[in-house]
Structure formats: C-alpha cells, structure tokens
Amino acid sequence: MRYLITNKTISFLLFASFTILISCTPIQLKPTPTAELNPSTEAQSLASSSTIKAVQKTPSSNVNLSKNLWSRLFSLYQFPTIENDRIQAEIDWYSKHPDYLIRVQQNAKPYLFHIVNEIEKRGLPGELALLPIVESAYKPFAYSHGRAAGLWQFIPSTGVAYGLKQTWWYDGRRDVYASTNAALTYLTKLSKRFDDDWFLALAGYNAGGGSVSSAMRKNRRLGRPTDFWALSLRKETRHYVPKLIAIASILANADKYNVTLIDIPNEPFFEKVNITKQLDLARAAELAEISIEDLYILNPSFNQWATSPEGPHYLLLPVSKSADFKTKLAALPDSQRLKWVHHKVKNGETLGQIARRYRTTVTQIKQANPIKNNLIRAGKHLLIPTANYNNRLYASNADMRKSDIINTSRQGQKVEYYVQSGDSFWSIAKQYGVGVRSLAKWNAMAPRDTLRIGQKLVIWSQHPTHPSPRTQLASKRKNQTIRYTVKSGDSLYLISRKFNVSIIDLKRWNTLNKKYLKPGQKLKIIVDVTRT
C-alpha cells in the first residue's frame, strides 16, 4: 500500500518527534532529603546508620544571589538525616541554650561567608562550615588544654604539617585565611582515607586518623560494624560528630526549635590585601580607618606589634575599607611603615636584652645593622624597628579573656588596670577599695609577687574609676587558663617546657608542695597564647 506524504504530514511528524524527545528528557528536580530512620528499628540499625551515603546536593543557580548566607549554606548540606539518642541529647542541650547559639552566630559573622565560599569551591558538605562552632565557638583566639589554637583548633604539629607557620611574630593556626585552607585540606584528606564517610573523617579530625583506623580494625576482628556509631572511641570524639549534626539540624530548622538566625549577608565581609612587606599594625589600622581591635578581629594571627618580617605579607580588611587602604599604603614611604629608634649600647648590654626592651627580635636588629656573631660594643648606635605607639594600644590582640581564675569573691564592676611606675598591690588595692589578697587572687598572683610596668590587672570594685579608652580597647587577654590532666611520665619540668611557663608559677597556681605529680592529677595553667 502506498501512502501519499504531503508537506502537512511532514510537519505533523516533525512536531510529534520533537514532542516525544522533550518528554523523554530528564527534568532536574530539587534533591529530596534522605529519609529518616524509623525509630522502631533504631536499636538494631544505629551502628549501620552512618554508612548511608548522602546525596550530592547541587544548589540552584540563583542560590548565590540570595541576600541571606544561611539559605546558601543550607543548600550545601550533604549529611544524611539520622536520628539516634546521641544526636537527640545534643539537640536537647542546644535547644535549651538558645543564647549560646546567638553568641556563636555573632562570633561567626566576620568569617562565615569566606568559609562557606571555600567549602562550596571544593564541593564539600556545607555542614563543615559549622565545625568551628564545635571546635572553638568561632573564637579565633580559642586555646585548649591540648595546645590547640584558632577557629579550627590545630595543635602545633598538625599546624606545621599543613603549612601553618608558628613564630615569635605570627601563629598561622589563628590566621583565618590560612587555617581555613589547611582545615579543609586536612578534612578532605581524611574523607578520602575513610572512603568518603564524613562521620569517620570528622572523628579522625578530632581524635586523629590513626585512632579511628585502630578502632575500626578492632571491630573487624570482633565481627562488628566499622561505621562511626559502632566504634569504641574516647568520650570527646563520641560526642563530637553528634554535636555538629545537632547544630546543623537546629540551624536549618530554626523555627521548629525556636532559634533565631541572625542576619549574615551573602557577601564578602573582608578582602585579602597584599602589603608586600612588614607593617606596624597600628599604622595599618590608621590607614584603614578602623580601630586596632577591629583589625585584630580579622587578623588574630599576629603575636606582636607588627606583621612578621618573613611574611605572610597580607592583611584581611573590611571590604568597605580595602580600596582606600590600598591607595594610602601605596603612597606610604617605607620609612613610615615602622618606627625606627637609635639605641646607644650600654656597658654589659646584649642583643637579647635590647630586643626584649623594644619588643623585637635579635634577627631583625641584626638585619637592620651590620652585626656579626652577635657582638656589639658599648657606645655603638643601633637602628631598631619598634612600635609606633604606646604598647598598650597593641594589647587587644595579645590579651584574651581568662576563664574563671580562682574561686574567690568577684562582686562589683570589672576594671582593667595597667600597672604604672611606683605601683604596688597595696597602693592599687587602696585606690579601688579592695583587699590586697583578693586583688592578687583575681590575677592568679601572690601579694608578694613583683608587678611589671604596663602589666594588666583585673579588679572587681564597688567604686571603679572610669577606664581609659586604651583600657577599653584592650578587651581581650593574652592569658588563658586551662586545666591539664597529668599523664604518666609527666614532671613539672616537662609541663613547664610544654606550655612555656615557669615551674615556680606551676607550683603557685596549684599550691604544690610535693615534688612528684600523680597521673590523673588536675593542674591549673595560665598560658600566654602568643608564646605557645
């Protein structure tokens, strides 16, 4: 049979083919959350639940244009939805402490956009942007009894392994930019080690990959599951992953848990600005037209009054201030980057003594002067780089808030007082109407201890004088109190070396009369975070 094919027939066939083609084309749908575990089967499936692989979520093209960073962050979540008693216990705790969640959000505000950006670039789970809440409450000066520092809580050795320099001038563990890069690199490496199981990777970040692998090998020998929920790990690590899951869940379901999300714009808070060489930090704040405290919030890695002469040579500055700063810095003569003083060497002086006096290093003095073999002669003039302004102005970065120092009465208003020439415990106590012993205890000292000019003291007074602007500016303390558990083989000497404190101070802080320590004994140690 023959068919007559006309132009109208051809048009109809083409239209039908096109319609069929369109109907067969897959339509990309918004990812559906992973189904929750049935509570009735939780007892038998708790161990295996963490092995569920999360679906890769691809945010829609307009997510980055959202005005709110939270929407963007939640779209990057990849963890599977899991319910168990350990997670619920953490959810219950955070739900009962909404003020804490407000505080950590406020702490995170300057840094969160950058961290979310870096996580999205690498295709990592968005939940990782909340890990600094678990690690440090998003405090860049956080310091732990294990000598971990910064937002991401790197210990010294792991910091070095991931390129975070730690020098007299600079501690990369507290560098927001560098430590974020190091942490995400480390987490990615752990994820690959544990076959993309992020719960095992996170456990490895907390306890060490070796500890997690060892626990997995033990379970295999016993014929048990090897996922995170089934492993026998230390108490801190067992709580670590549930804490992150709980925080991520609560923030993503803020209405359900009656939690307020503060407004964090989906736009950069800071810009990384190249400064090419060493720069006085007070001068930098002046050029950026911000307070030095605001400069330190974004640049907590600097231990001294200037950036490191060996680098890194960059500063993080508010986006709104960066353009003017770059213009002013380009016009700044090198002679005004640092303040230079002429020092006449006295009889018996050493380079080390001179460096300590001017808060600089022997190396930098030698670089600025033709000195060989550390030999200097009395009467010789040295050119020394030093702080542009009063040292108190630079205290904001070095001074961190202490934990409760000692169990003693602290009624009244807190005052921060800087020791002046001629001061004594007695004269300061009399001025503020407090007891000498209380004043000493508030500052973890004894009444007979020597005070240093410029030293900061905390006073709880019923009749305080109004603090000066510089005192108000220096709101963070460099000394942080930690609790250390004595381990087998520890001695006062080894502990003093580990935390860079004196044996005399260790004895004084802990009223130690005996020569020997016992494993499990708790010690109070007041650590200068800029020297660890």
Residue 487: CB atoms within 10 A of its CB come to 12
| Amino acid in the structure at residue 468 | S
Going from the C-alpha of 308 to that of each of 41, 142, 182, 394, 472, the distances in angstroms are: 57, 21, 20, 15, 26
Please tell me the distance from the alpha carbon of residue 382 to that of residue 398, in angstroms, as a whole number.
27
Q: Find the distance separating the first CA and the last CA of the chain, reported in whole Å.
A: 94
Phi-psi region at 489: left, alpha or beta (left = phi > 0; alpha = psi -120 to 50): left
Annotated active-site residue in 90, 120, 127, 135: 135
Token pair for 488: 């087998």
Stated as kind and residue range, the H or E segment containing 273 is: strand 270-274
Phi-psi region at 506: left, alpha or beta (left = phi > 0; alpha = psi -120 to 50): alpha
Catalytic status, residue 135 = yes
CA 135 to chain CA mean position, Å: 8
Beta 479-485 vs 456-461: how paired, if at all?
A: unpaired
Please tell me the distance from the alpha carbon of residue 524 to that of residue 265, in angstroms, as a whole number.
41
Q: Where are the alpha helices (DSSP H) in 48-97?
A: 69-75, 85-95
Please tell me the distance from the alpha carbon of residue 305 to that of residue 397, in angstroms, as a whole number.
9
Yes or no: say if 115 and 129 are a contact pair by the CB < 8 Å rule: yes
Within 13 Å and on the Cβ side, how many CA atoms surround 207? 24
DSSP string, 175-218: -HHHHHHHHHHHHHHHHHHTTT-HHHHHHHHHH-HHHHHHHHHH
By CB neighbour count within 10 A (0-12 exposed, 13-18 middle, 19+ buried), where does 464 fall? middle
- The verdict on whether omega for the bond into residue 312 sits within 30 degrees of 0, i.e. cis, is yes
Q: Which residues are designated catalytic?
A: 135
